[in-house]
């Protein structure tokens, strides 16, 4: 079939066809970028932290009894709590720490090698006892873990960690950033313009907690009391049973407080609530765009069939087959969708440039755009097929009516 006559016929009614082509272009531009944002969000939602998340439970204790306001009594309460947690069936490890995986409580400070003159490398900071590593389920890549001697010695340090001087653990990412030549163990870190000195005794092999860009994998851990907040690691498959018993066990130690018990799975779901909303919203937008585009194509093709009924009958009377009529309208539709897709490619890249430059996102790849074009071709084909078949059913005798 000759495309030329079809194209020239379309140009006589260019406005209606141009509107559909623009609709296709906008659909391709928005859908391609939406898919990119969805893939980014899903990647973040499924990214592993390196911790034993499936078996971790968080417990936050908020004391209200007067006796628990005494620092010595509060310290003793923590020791009693840890013993009670360790005695629960199904518990593998428990730790007092300020780190909450997938929580919003990130404390960030810059650290650098002692004597360096730069502004330091931003890193997350956590306070924890020697059960930190075993509770999270990570390992020590270099050096050693904290000991209880480290923790007890730190009790005599200033309560503010910028003045702390003693052993610390760091993540592998922070070690690579500050000591790119390796061998971070034994080196000393400092905060810019602060008297603290942190001697690295161990490097944690895996760590990830969203806090913003490159600091997601950086961590500095000090052996300092973190307040009455605990992480509990359970035996596989026993997390929910242990979580149900935690509150009872801790209230037996002291009932002068409120307890909040959450699994890390629950914490992670809350952390990603905005990402899930984004994915659901973008899916709805894409569905509506495809639906509106499909309805536009159906309407345009149906109008064209109705407008050219006698012309179709004349062609049938002159020997055109039903297949030829169907091919005519499908080819006409393909030209419209393809024209819109070409414009849509330019719009998609322009929109993506704006997202990457001024907001956030990843660059489009050709595979994603090609898939979008194919999807629009399929939508166009499916939308135009019904009206095209109706056009093919026009009888030749229609050409002589009302003459």
Contact assessment for residue 183 and residue 88, using Cβ atoms and an 8 Å cutoff: no
CA distance linking residue 131 with residue 5, whole number of Å: 79
Per-residue pLDDT for 129 more than 60? yes
CA distance linking residue 144 with residue 142, whole number of Å: 7
Confidence (pLDDT) at 93: 94
Tell me what the mean pLDDT of segment 360-372 comes to.
Answer: 79
The CA–CA distances, whole Å, from 318 to 42, 114, 312, 324, 396 equal: 57, 92, 10, 12, 8
Confidence (pLDDT) at 252: 92
The two three-digit tokens of residue 65, written as one number:
């009894």
Phi, psi (5° rounding) for residue 12? Answer: -75, -20
Per-residue pLDDT for 5 more than 70? no
Tell me what the mean pLDDT of segment 312-337 comes to.
Answer: 76
Per-residue pLDDT for 402 more than 70? no
Q: What mean pLDDT is reported for the chain?
A: 85
Per-residue pLDDT for 399 more than 60? no
Per-residue pLDDT for 9 more than 60? no
The two three-digit tokens of residue 45, written as one number:
């939602």
List strands edge to edge, sheet with 56-63: 91-96, 229-234, 56-63, 257-263
- Radius of gyration of the chain measured on its C-alpha atoms: 33
The two three-digit tokens of residue 101, written as one number:
């995986």
Contacts of 71 by beta carbon, 8 Å cutoff, 6+ apart: none
Nearest to 200 by CA among 231, 233, 166, 250: 166
| Winning range, highest mean pLDDT, from 263-267, 339-343, 366-370 | 263-267
Nearest to 46 by CA among 269, 239, 315: 269
Per-residue pLDDT for 218 more than 90? yes
Confidence (pLDDT) at 106: 78
Phi, psi (5° rounding) for residue 170? Answer: -135, 160
Confidence (pLDDT) at 397: 65
Across 73-77, 234-238, 279-283, least confident range = 73-77
Tell me what the mean pLDDT of segment 303-311 comes to.
Answer: 71
At residue 118 the predicted structure's pLDDT band, cuts being 50, 70 and 90, is: confident
Contacts of 270 by beta carbon, 8 Å cutoff, 6+ apart: 102
Per-residue pLDDT for 172 more than 80? yes
CA distance linking residue 152 with residue 287, whole number of Å: 60
Q: Select the more confidently predicted residue: 388 or 150.
A: 150
The CA–CA distances, whole Å, from 88 to 9, 265, 344 equal: 81, 21, 61
**Which string of DSSP letters, residue by residue, matches 175-220?**
HHHH-TTS--TT-EEE-TTS--EEEEEEEES-----SSGGGGG-EE
Confidence (pLDDT) at 403: 44
Nearest to 401 by CA among 274, 282, 284, 313: 313
Percent of the chain residues past pLDDT 90, beyond the cut? 37
Per-residue pLDDT for 298 more than 80? yes
Confidence (pLDDT) at 154: 83
Tell me what the mean pLDDT of segment 9-32 comes to.
Answer: 78
The per-residue b/e assignment along 346-372, b for 16 or more CB within 10 angstroms, e otherwise, is ebbbebbeebeeeeebeebeeebbeeb
Contacts of 291 by beta carbon, 8 Å cutoff, 6+ apart: none
CA distance linking residue 90 with residue 106, whole number of Å: 29
Q: Select the more confidently predicted residue: 94 or 309.
A: 94
Confidence (pLDDT) at 71: 81
Tell me what the mean pLDDT of segment 327-336 comes to.
Answer: 79
Per-residue pLDDT for 201 more than 80? yes
Phi, psi (5° rounding) for residue 63? Answer: -75, 145
Instruction: Enumerate long-range contacts of 302-311, CB under 8 Å, 24 or more apart.
Output: 302/387, 302/390, 303/16, 304/329, 304/332, 304/387, 305/329, 305/387, 305/388, 305/390, 305/391, 305/394, 308/391, 309/394, 309/398, 310/398, 310/399, 310/401
**Chain length of the chain:** 403
Per-residue pLDDT for 250 more than 90? yes
Phi, psi (5° rounding) for residue 401? Answer: -70, 145
pLDDT tens per residue, range 272-293: 998 899 999 999 999 998 898 8
CA distance linking residue 258 with residue 61, whole number of Å: 6
Tell me what the mean pLDDT of segment 63-76 comes to.
Answer: 84
Confidence (pLDDT) at 222: 92
Tell me what the mean pLDDT of segment 162-182 comes to.
Answer: 90
| Winning range, highest mean pLDDT, from 73-77, 361-365, 397-401 | 73-77
């Amino acid at each position: 079939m000759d495309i030329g006559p079809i194209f020239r016929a379309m140009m006589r009614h260019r406005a209606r066809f141009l509107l559909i082509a623009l609709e296709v272009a906008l659909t391709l531009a928005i859908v391609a970028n939406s898919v990119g944002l969805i893939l980014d969000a899903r990647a973040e939602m499924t990214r592993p932290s390196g911790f034993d998340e499936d078996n971790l439970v968080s417990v936050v204790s908020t004391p209200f009894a007067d006796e628990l306001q005494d620092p010595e009594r509060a310290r003793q309460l923590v020791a009693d709590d840890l013993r009670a947690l360790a005695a629960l069936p199904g518990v593998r490890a428990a730790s007092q720490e300020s780190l909450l995986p997938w929580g919003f409580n990130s404390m960030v400070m810059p650290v650098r090698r002692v004597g360096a003159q730069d502004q330091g490398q931003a890193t997350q900071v956590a306070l924890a006892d020697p059960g930190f590593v075993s509770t999270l389920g990570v390992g020590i890549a270099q050096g050693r873990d904290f000991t209880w001697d480290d923790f007890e010695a730190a009790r005599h340090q200033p309560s503010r960690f910028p003045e702390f001087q003693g052993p610390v653990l760091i993540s592998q990412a922070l070690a690579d950033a500050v000591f790119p030549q390796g061998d971070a163990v034994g080196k000393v870190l400092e905060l810019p313009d602060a008297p603290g000195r942190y001697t690295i005794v161990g490097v944690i092999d895996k760590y990830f907690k969203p806090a913003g860009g490159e600091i997601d994998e950086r961590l500095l851990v000090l052996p300092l009391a973190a307040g009455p907040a605990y992480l509990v690691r359970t035996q596989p498959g026993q997390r929910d049973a242990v979580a149900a018993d935690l509150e009872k066990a801790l209230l037996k130690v002291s009932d002068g407080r409120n307890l909040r018990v959450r699994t890390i799975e629950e914490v992670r779901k809350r952390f990603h609530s905005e990402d899930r909303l984004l994915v659901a919203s973008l899916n709805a937008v894409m569905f509506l765009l495809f639906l509106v585009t499909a309805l536009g194509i159906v309407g345009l093709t149906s109008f064209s069939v109705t407008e050219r009924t006698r012309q179709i009958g004349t062609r049938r009377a002159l020997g055109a087959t039903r297949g030829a009529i169907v091919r005519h309208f499908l080819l006409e539709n393909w030209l419209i969708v393809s024209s819109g897709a070409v414009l849509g490619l330019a719009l998609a890249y322009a929109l993506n440039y704006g997202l990457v430059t001024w907001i956030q996102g990843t660059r489009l790849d050709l595979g994603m755009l090609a898939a979008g074009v194919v999807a629009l071709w399929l939508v166009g084909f499916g939308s135009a097929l019904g009206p095209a078949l109706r056009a093919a059913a026009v009888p030749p005798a229609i050409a002589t009516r009302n003459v």
